[in-house]
Structures are given as C-alpha cells and as structure tokens.
Structure 1
Amino acid sequence: MINQVNIKYDILSSKGLVKSSKTIQLKISQSNSMYIIHRALIKLLNKKRQGSANCKNRSEVQGGGKKPWKQKGTGRARAGSIRSPLWKGGGVIFGPKTKEYKTKLNKKEKQLALRNILYNKYASTTVVEDFYSTTNKPSTKAIIQKINTLKITTTNKILIIVAKKEPNIYLSTRNIKNIELIAANQINILSIINAKNIIIETQALDIIAKVYNG
C-alpha cells in the first residue's frame, strides 16, 4: 500500500545555520519498503555485470577430428578425440558462457524504491540553500571547508546531490576520496545506500520531488 507522507527538511545557510524549512510530499510504501529497495538494488547490480566469462566446449575446441590411436592393441586407454574434456586442452564440461544478466523492474517500481530509500535516509540528510556559491574557480579546499561547516566529516562516504553538475563543483570534488557528486535527475539507489551522509541542494530537492514522485 502506497502512502503519501510530508517530509520537513531544515534548510541550512552557507554558515551551517538553520535559515528556513521546506516540506515535500513523497509517495512511499511502508508495508514492503525493504523488498522494493532490494529488487531495485539487484537490478542495478545485475546491470553492472559484464557476463563476458566464456569457455569452449568440446565442439568448439580446434582439432580432434582424427582418432588419436587405434582402438585396440596399444595398451592405452580408449580415446576418440583430443577434444575430450578428460584431455589437457580439451573442452570444458558445463563451463560458463557469455550471457546478459537482466532483471525486470518497472519504472514506477524504481521510482518507489528511490523514494523509500530517501525517506529511510532522512536522519542522515542535510539540505543546504546553495552548496557551492564560489563559481569563479574550482577549489577543493573550499568544498572541504563547506562540508566541515555542516558538521559532516569527510572520512565517511558523502553523497552530494545538486540540481546541475557545474564544471567548478565537479572539479572541486573529484579528488576527494569519499565524496560522490550526482545530479538530481540521475540519482541511483546504490549511491544512496552507500552514503553515510547525504547533502542536497534546495533546487535539487524540488527536482527529486517532481521527477521521482510519479
């Protein structure tokens, strides 16, 4: 059963002080929340699998058309082909073959899973009015200072959700080990699960409420 809940976020200023608050409405499923999240995670992980492992069976191994030796009189075991799985260099029995891993998940199910995990991560989510206002040049130092102002330690995994991945903020965060920058319309369930802290811009919060609330 899907319920509509109101989530109130405190919006912090550039100095880390509460400036205002914002309430968004999310449609979530409280009865099977973890089930739908698990399904969405499995689909994402399966999509990342290459599926390129491949072994040749005895029909694909080169050679072996001729019987190695005659059936009787040699004192050796009977052999019909050097392609036999019992021979070195022969085919592989029941070896892996190239395949594509697919898991079906409807678009609305994926959106529901994202809303559920965002709702579950409410306690570790921080909303800021403008995460990076210095637009004249990239600065990793300024990003770290901004995060410290929000009382978040950079030793933990941090997910920063912005309205748009501007070049300066991308260049400022790419060298920081535990920080992942992502646009609001491209969030995925694995990034949210892995993050210890989530930082969301106000404009990005509006995009999330609009795009994933279908």
Structure 2
Amino acid sequence: MVNCVVRDWQGKEAGEASLDLKVAKKSTAAALVHRAVVRQLANARQGTACTLTRAEVRGGGRKPYKQKGTGRARQGSIRTPLRPGGGVIFGPKPRSYTVAMNRKERRLALRTALISRASDILVVKGFAPDLEVPRTKEIVAALERWEVPAGSKVLLVLDAPTDVVRRSVRNLEKVKLIAADQLNVFDLLHANVLVLSEEALAKIQEIYGDD
C-alpha cells in the first residue's frame, strides 16, 4: 500500500489517498516491466515497410549490352541490386512485430509500474469543477498551483475526461491525457509527474485491486 498527497483545485492539501495493489517481487519486477514496455512498443509498429527484390522491379528483361567486346563488366539486367533503381538485397518486407505476453503478466507489470511511481503521484480532489469552456491557461495555472515543475512531462489520468478538458489539454505538448481504464506501462514510466483525479484513483483500485 502507498499513500499519495491529495490537493484540491486551488493547490491546497486536502488529505491523503491510498492505493493498494499487488506488485511483482523485487527480483523479477525490473525484467517483467521491461518485457511489458518492449511488447507495447513492438505492438505499436505497423510493419508496413516494403522494398522490391530484383524479381519484383519493373523492366530489366533485356540484356543491357552484349556480353563481350565492350570492355565493361558483364550485365544481364538493369534491375540488378548493383545498379541504381535495381532491386534491394534482404530489404524489409511487411511483417508483424507482435510480441505475446500473458494477461496476468501484463496486469502485474502495469500495477508494478504504477506503484513504482508512487512518489510522483499527485491526487486532485474535484478536477476542474468550474471549467465550462476549453481554457488551456486554466490547466497550466493549476499545474503551477500543484507545484509541478515547469517543463515536466505530465500524465493526466481522469475517470471520464470531458470534451472540455480534452480540448483544454490538447495544445499542451508536455501533458498527455488518458482515461483511468486505459493505463499503459510506457506512459506511466515516461511521465515525470502523474496527476490523478480522486475518481480515477478509485477506478484504478476497482479495476486492478482484485488480482
């Protein structure tokens, strides 16, 4: 179990919140989280890179010049990999980069990554209660009130982000907004500060607390 500082929208401390999740053993935690990150990044690859072999390049059916008497090296096709515009040797072809990982391992890795960032978690009570229209300045001012260092990469986790909040955050390069049920290992480790609403914290405890 870890305890996190709770602040209200104005930046004042409003108590503490606890998060109780089962994590991996210390001896295996690093390897497990590493595999989860590798899997996520690998599965995000499209795998659509494609080059043509000499058999697939158009043209080149006729011998460029006669075999002997020119003083040049013999050539049987202008699509040889040795010539510009020719085929590619051992070039990439469409493929799948998918890496398999058991569901229990994925969930354990995510819980472990989240708990490892406990010191960087900030819980907010009543997130943007009066935000009725998109205002990026209001989000920036709130981060300053919460003493989030300028230039920090912030992961903002809400239970059910409204369209107003999404539009207020989307222009902030260093702030990423995700829903509480869409957590992933890479984002948890990539951010410098994790800002969670109280509702999001409860949702995370509900989803991952039973394992």
| Range with bigger deviation, 49-58 or 192-201 | 49-58
* SS of equivalent residue, structure 1 residue 31: helix
Confirm or deny: 8 A CA contact 1:114 1:212 kept in the other structure: no
The answer on 1:139 being equivalent to 2:135 is yes
Shift of 1:103: 0.9
- Residues 73-123 of structure 1, C-alpha deviation per residue, up to 9 Å, x if partnerless? 444432222222223322121122222211112222221111111111111
CA distance in 2, matches of 1:173, 1:182: 11
2:32 to 31, 36, 50: 36
Aligned alpha-carbon RMSD (Å):
1.9
Match for residue 19 of structure 2? Answer: 24
| Range with bigger deviation, 79-88 or 160-169 | 79-88
What letter corresponds to residue 91 of structure 1 in structure 2?
G
Match for residue 84 of structure 1? Answer: 80
2:9 to 3, 11, 14: 14
Match for residue 3 of structure 1? Answer: none
CA distance in 1, matches of 2:64, 2:138: 73
Confirm or deny: 8 A CA contact 2:17 2:123 kept in the other structure: no
* SS of equivalent residue, structure 2 residue 67: coil
Match for residue 169 of structure 2? Answer: 173
TM-score, scaled relative to structure 2:
0.89
- Residues 163-196 of structure 1, C-alpha deviation per residue, up to 9 Å, x if partnerless? 1111111122122221111110112222211211
CA distance in 1, matches of 2:14, 2:141: 19
Confirm or deny: 8 A CA contact 1:143 1:173 kept in the other structure: yes
CA distance in 2, matches of 1:43, 1:200: 25
Confirm or deny: 8 A CA contact 1:118 1:192 kept in the other structure: yes
Match for residue 61 of structure 2? Answer: 65
Residue 76 to residue 153, structure 1, CA distance change in 2 (3 Å): closer
* SS of equivalent residue, structure 1 residue 26: coil
* Unaligned residue ranges in structure 1 (runs of 5+): 1-5
Confirm or deny: 8 A CA contact 1:144 1:154 kept in the other structure: no
CA distance in 2, matches of 1:108, 1:206: 21
* SS of equivalent residue, structure 1 residue 32: helix
* SS of equivalent residue, structure 2 residue 21: strand
CA distance in 1, matches of 2:203, 2:106: 16
CA distance in 1, matches of 2:160, 2:141: 21
The answer on 1:102 being equivalent to 2:106 is no
Residue 77 to residue 142, structure 1, CA distance change in 2 (3 Å): closer
- Residues 53-87 of structure 1, C-alpha deviation per residue, up to 9 Å, x if partnerless? 22211111112223333434444432222222223
* SS of equivalent residue, structure 1 residue 44: helix
